Structure 1
Amino acid sequence: MNKLRKIISENLTGKKVAFLFLLTNLVYAFMLFVTIPKTVAYSGGMKLLDMMPQGYNSEYVNELFNKLGEEGRGVYLFNQIPVDMIYPFLFGITYSLLIAYFLKKLDKLNTPFFYLCLVPLIAGIADYLENIGIITMLNDYPDLSITQISTTNFFTLIKSLSTTLFFLILIVIIIVVGVKRFKWK
């Protein structure tokens, strides 16, 4: 943990955090406006597994993969997933640093609040595990097992919960920083 704390502390310049924030959101925007719509065009409007924060079941996965067809599954596998293999790394690093940046402003970085920086990293790891599950299912379709689907769904839920928790933490920290600044002036 001390190694991670050191790496985070060494990279807490406003310029680095701002650059990573911009890069992360450009990649996310590319997925939202290019690769996801391109894939969804084959699904008849069904949401992709990556975009289902409440999870999914085997019926949904089979229906989605069937509607995507061979070409749509290929687009999912070779267009959407490659970009989504970059995003979790950027999400985890960027938002971990963002929380650390604001904690430093509150003089709380070297306290147990530092562990809040782990939440985006957990979300990023869960996103990778979800992607690996989706890749496996796309390659194995139509021979999908309940275990495959359940395991991938589990990581989707962990990703969604940790991402939501991250945004809640970030909002609270930003409010505290704002209140502190307002009181200081």
Structure 2
Amino acid sequence: MSITKEELVVKRNISGKKVFWLFILTNLVYAFMLMVTIPNTMAFSNGMKLLDMMPTGYDFNYVNKLFSDLGDNGRETYLTSQIPVDMVYPLLFGVSYCLLMAYLLKKINKLKPFFYYLCLLPIIAGIADYIENMGIITMLKTYPDITETTVTTTNMFSVIKSISTSVFFFALIVILILVGISFFKKSIITT
């Protein structure tokens, strides 16, 4: 079976140092969102969760209530504080977690076509996150004239992001366990 260009790019970039530093950068950006931009935006929301933080989705009524509760200042904060950081994060998430999965699969000699698809899950999540963000931007800019179609489409990509992220982290835990078992077996053999 031949190697695709994407597989070649991944295989070229799975050095431990590169994966480590991308992982650190990605999680620093994520921590910044969790500790700064999301709380700053939610300060206006009367306890309602932001659309980015609703893994099971939302509907038209929820979006209208959230945007109403946010008020002008909250919607502006969402648009100019949270969304810009969340336009950086999906790329970092997609690349770093794709390479992390590839690195771990390589450690257990499973970086093969079937398992390679696990590396694509964070990329799918990142793309869905970008489309979700575009929908949120559209709704924030057009509020109160948001449409049911925009909400439904944005919600669909929020759920796709959530599902692909959840499946990825489940797979990552399984692969980490396999890496641990492999390491344990090698250490027993060498002693």
Alignment pair present for 1:65 and 2:67? yes
Counterpart mapping for 1:1-185 below 5 A: 2-185=4-187
> Could you tell me how far apart the structure 2 residues matched to 1:178 and 1:23 are?
24
- The C-alpha deviation readout for 1:64-122, integer Å capped at 9, x for no partner, is 00000011100000100000000000000000000000010111113321111000000
Q: Which runs of 5+ in 2 are unaligned?
A: none
Letter in 2 for 1:26: L
Quote the offset at 1:10 in angstroms: 0.7
Q: CA RMSD in A?
A: 0.8
Unaligned runs of 5+ in 1: none
Deviation of residue 180 (structure 1)? 1.2
3-state secondary structure, aligned to 1:20 = helix
Which amino acid is the alignment partner of residue 139 of structure 1? K
Normalised to the residue count of structure 2, the TM-score between the two structures is 0.95
Task: Give the fraction of aligned pairs with identical amino acids, expressed as a percent.
Answer: 61
Q: Which runs of 4+ in 1 moved over 6 A?
A: none
CA distance in 2, matches of 1:162, 1:116: 10
